[in-house]
Amino acid sequence: MLVLGASVMTLTSWAQTKKANDKEAIRQQINSFIKAFRTRNVNLMMSLYTPDMVAFDIVPPLKDTGADTYRKTWEKTFKRFDGPIGIEVRDRNIVPGDKVAFAYQLLHLSATMTNGQKIDFWERMTLCFVKTNGKWLIMHEHVSVPADLRTGKAVLNLKP
Amino acid sequence: MLVLGASVMTLTSWAQTKKANDKEAIRQQINSFIKAFRTRNVNLMMSLYTPDMVAFDIVPPLKDTGADTYRKTWEKTFKRFDGPIGIEVRDRNIVPGDKVAFAYQLLHLSATMTNGQKIDFWERMTLCFVKTNGKWLIMHEHVSVPADLRTGKAVLNLKP
């Protein structure tokens, strides 16, 4: 009975440790995402995705399929930013499973674009991960701002 | 050696069966989501969520926290629709893990609103699930249309 109790304790504690480790590993992947965005590092960014990833990006098209396609999207995006890119993360929640995980958070983007336009808004970002060869990789990304369906406008002035 | 081979086979086949069962269970949950949407059934809709769910909805605010809050959002949404709600699902992918899963797809919405406005657009929907007491429940939902950040407009005329 004591032995059984100890085994159950060990199993629970092992599961908790695994979960904490997975959360930390995913947090580091998201931090790498932020770093890649801030420093316009396409190779670092692309190291975070599975080859068959699907993105629902903040801008058209409806979806990008495959890391090769999404690399071009990131290259195009990075060229649009002029000077430093400010990114603040808030309300992050990471939910890890055995081999599948998801994380959602709000991102505050502030920057100047190459056309002179200043951007300063909060967006929502959902990242869905699969564990591949011991590494948590993004298989699906969904980034957006809400829309006002009556006026047809993107809503860019919301604050958390 | 033969016995070991058989055990490995059995384990692989068990894992494949579990994965197929989980995919099917999640597909049924998404079908219930579509049915609840089409029939404006708030109770059916709310039976699909965890109490602590977080939604990034297509319309403001940035996020809704908790099923109690999101119930009010659905009630308000359903009141805006007049007559039948057309919903078509395309490009669905379900990725199940042990206790955590995600699914992403495109939805075509066509309907008339109570203010007379006709809607007819494709949106993107990501659903993140956790298995709770043997049931796959939505812990996170992200629905959106892309935005044109230069004009500030929601992009509602895209087709998959």
Asked if B100's CB is within 8 angstroms of A158's CB, the reply is no
Asked if B115's CB is within 8 angstroms of A146's CB, the reply is no
Q: Which residues are CB-contacts of A116 (< 8 A; sequence separation ≥ 6)?
A: none
Q: How confident is the model at residue B68 (pLDDT cuts 50, 70, 90)?
A: very high
| Phi, psi dihedrals of residue A136, rounded to the nearest 5° | -85, 115
- pLDDT score at B4: 60
Q: How confident is the model at residue B10 (pLDDT cuts 50, 70, 90)?
A: confident
B155 → closest Cβ in A60, A98, A148? A60
* Complete domains list, chain B, with CATH: 2-154 (3.10.450.50)
- pLDDT score at A2: 54
Block means of pLDDT (10 residues each) for chain A, 160 residues, are 62 89 98 98 98 98 98 97 96 97 98 95 98 97 97 97
Average pLDDT of every residue of chain B: 95
- pLDDT score at A59: 97
Asked if B154's CB is within 8 angstroms of A152's CB, the reply is yes
B21-25 average pLDDT score: 97
Closest chain A residue to the Cα of B149, Cα to Cα: A59
ipTM, two decimals, is: 0.94
* For testing contact with chain B, the best of A16, A90, A93, A102 (most B CBs within 10 A): A102
- Chain B residues near residue A61 by CB distance under 8 angstroms: 146, 158
pLDDT digits (tens, 9 = 90+) for B118-139: 999 999 999 999 999 999 999 9
- pLDDT score at B58: 98
DSSP structure class, residue A159: -
A154 → closest Cβ in B62, B106, B152? B152
Q: Which residues are CB-contacts of B61 (< 8 A; sequence separation ≥ 6)?
A: A146, A158
Name the region of B83 (left: φ>0; alpha: ψ -120 to 50; beta: rest). Answer: left
Task: For chain B, give the percent of residues with pLDDT over 90.
Answer: 90
B100 → closest Cβ in A100, A147, A152? A100
- pLDDT score at A11: 80
- Chain B residues near residue A139 by CB distance under 8 angstroms: 95
DSSP structure class, residue A7: H
**Which residues is A120 bridged to in the sheet?**
A110
pLDDT at B5 over 80: no
B22-31 average pLDDT score: 98
- pLDDT score at A12: 83
User: Is the separation of the CB atoms in B154 and A154 below 8 Å?
Assistant: yes
B58-72 average pLDDT score: 98
In Å, how far is A152's CA from the nearest CA of chain B? 5
